[in-house]
Amino acid sequence: MADTTKIKTMIEPHVRTWLSKQFPGHVFEKKRVQLASGGSHKFDAVAEDGSFVAAILCNRARTRTQRENTGGVRKALTDLSYLQGLPASVQKVMVFTDGSFCHLIRLRASRLVTEPVQMMVCTLPPRLETLLGEILDEASHEQRAAGED
C-alpha cells in the first residue's frame, strides 16, 4: 500500500509554514473546528486565533491515464462544503500544490460557492514535489492494479 503518511508529515507542514508567510503574524496547525451547523471537522491548517481556516489539497487534475481525477475532485468539493460550513467571520482558504488541480476545482466549484473561499497555489520546492509525485504515482499504480482484479 502506498505510504501517504509523508504527505501529512512532510508536505502539509511545508504548506502550513508557507501559509504563515502569506498571512504574517499567524501560525497554522491541524485542528478540529466547530461548524456553524453544530458539528465539527478537522481542518489541515487553522490559524491560532481561528481567523483563517484552510484545506490543503495535494492532488493532481489528471490521473496517470489522463482522465479527470474524479476522486480528488470529490474530496476537494467535500472540503469546500466543510469550509462553507464555517461562520462568515472566518477567512476560508483552499491551498493546492498543483496549479492545474486548482484551476479544475475553480471550474467545478463555480456553481457551488455561496460565499468567498480563497484558492491559492503553494509551489513546492523540487525535493517535496518529487516526493509528492512518487507518492501519487505509487497510489495511482495500486489503484489501477486493484481495478484489474
Domain at 31, CATH number: 3.40.1350.10
User: What is the total count of domains within the chain?
Assistant: 1
Look up the domain containing 114 and give its range: 5-147
**Percent share of the chain, pLDDT over 70:** 91
- Model confidence, pTM: 0.91
Mean pLDDT confidence for 82-107: 95
Q: Which residues pair with 28 in a beta bridge?
A: 47
From the list 139, 129, 97, the residue with the least C-alpha distance to 5 is 139
The pLDDT of residue 1 is above 70: no
Residue pLDDT, tens place only, 133-145: 999 988 876 555 5
**CA 44/CA 3 separation, integer angstroms:** 18
The pLDDT of residue 78 is above 80: yes
At residue 147 the predicted structure's pLDDT band, cuts being 50, 70 and 90, is low
At residue 38 the predicted structure's pLDDT band, cuts being 50, 70 and 90, is confident
**CA 26/CA 47 separation, integer angstroms:** 6
